[in-house]
Amino acid sequence: MGEDLARSDLRQVNLAGAKLANAKLARADLEGANLENADLSGADLSGASLREAFIAGANLEGAILKKADLDGAVLRAAKLKKADLSRANLEGTNLEGADLEKAKLRYAQLDSANLANAMLAGANFSQADLDSACLVGAKGEKSNFARASLANALLEGANLREAVLDESVLRNASLKRVNLQGASMVEVDMEKAVCEATDFSRADLRRARFVGATFSKTVIESARVFGVELGGTPHADAFVAQRCDLSREADGSRWVTLQKFLKNPGGADDGEDQRLRRYVGPGDVLRNAELSFENGAEVQVDGLLEHCELNMAEDASLIIGESGVLENCRVVGGRVRVNGCFLERSRVGLDGPVELVVSKQGAVATTLQQPATETHFGFAAGCRLRLYIKEPLKRVEDSHAARSN
């Protein structure tokens, strides 16, 4: 059993090289402490303060650092394999060359953190905040960045082969020479990203958003590209590919040449694109409208909708952009992603959505009625919510039936 130092005041203490394996340091105050090359493997540091601590080269394998505060700490070349840093504050932390293989960093705050040349294979960064972080040369094969925010991040030369980045935000990120072969990037937001010599071979890019992105020698060989939004028609020389998969289900049933993909990046069959895609641009206003969208349809709102009703099939998507606002509207069914504002306080505004995802920039104020199968939720840290969630209708009905019996 490790030493019990929970809640201890160890500020500015020199613990360089200390043997603290399995120590109990929950909620301890280690601000500014020197833990260089210390052995903290298996230690419990949950909720501990390690602000500005010097932890370079330390062994933290399997350590528990849930909700720990490591703001500005130096963890250069530290061993954090399988460590749990869920919801930890790592803002501005130096993790250069650190080993984070299979570490848990869900919901962690890593704004402006330095992860250059770090080993991230199998690590879980889902819904973490990595805005303006440096991941240059990072090795993150099969890592998970689903719904993470990497806006303005530097990923040049990183290896993210077979990583999961579904619904992540990479706006203005630099992905020069990044290896994303076989990565899952469904509905990723890469607005104004730099994709020079980026390798998306065999990646799943369905419904990815690349508006304003820069392409040069970008490899998309055998990539799954149905519903990709390029925001224009890039020159064919910007891409390298013999063929792409334009099938809706990414099942290889619709292979096309690069030239055909660039003519129709949305992937809809001839005459189908207008039926499946609807765009309300910045400055556009739509009032008192009732619209219906079938499976596979996508509605992107960067303007204003007022007093509208949108009836969405189960696999139809509504994306509210950062400048988009839905006010006093009702959305029935579908998959809803909010990067802007959804405001409907007087009634059920979201009726039976399959999924509701709210990004860091998003705001939702309404009542949500879950369908019988329950809504899948995803809320990024920093989003603004005033949401009343009603139980699934079937559960409520069963409860009433049980009481009557």
Residue pair 380/365 in contact (Cβ under 8 Å)? The answer is no
pLDDT of residue 203: 98
Q: Give the largest CA-CA distance in the chain.
A: 70
Strand-pair category, 325-327 with 304-306 = parallel
* Paired strand residues for 132: none
Residue pair 42/59 in contact (Cβ under 8 Å)? The answer is no
Q: Report how far apart the first and last C-alpha atoms of the chain are (Å, whole number).
A: 54
What is residue 392's DSSP assignment? P
pLDDT of residue 268: 59
Angle ∠(148,153,156) on CA atoms, nearest 5: 115
Q: What is the pLDDT of residues 119-136, one digit of tens each?
A: 999 999 999 999 999 999
User: Which range among 98-112, 174-188, 230-244 shows the weakest confidence by mean pLDDT?
Assistant: 230-244
Residue pair 200/223 in contact (Cβ under 8 Å)? The answer is yes
CA distance 221 to 219: 6
Residue 401 has pLDDT above 80, yes or no: no
Which whole number is the average pLDDT over 157-180? 97
Residue pair 307/288 in contact (Cβ under 8 Å)? The answer is yes
Q: What is the pLDDT of residues 1-14, one digit of tens each?
A: 467 999 999 999 99
pLDDT of residue 1: 44
Q: What is the pLDDT of residues 311-368, one digit of tens each?
A: 999 989 999 988 999 999 999 999 999 999 999 999 999 999 999 999 988 999 999 9
Residue pair 35/55 in contact (Cβ under 8 Å)? The answer is yes
What phi and psi values does residue 171 have, to the nearest 5 degrees? -60, 135
User: Which residue, 292, 291, 321, is CA-closest to 307?
Assistant: 291
Rg (CA), the chain: 23
Q: What is the pLDDT of residues 356-379, one digit of tens each?
A: 999 988 999 999 999 998 999 999
pLDDT of residue 120: 98
Residue 360: partners with Cβ closer than 8 Å, 6 or more residues away? 129, 149, 169, 380, 381, 382, 383
> What is the CB-side half-sphere exposure of residue 17 using CA atoms within 13 A?
0
- Tell me the average pLDDT of the chain: 92
Residue 270: partners with Cβ closer than 8 Å, 6 or more residues away? none
pLDDT of residue 397: 52
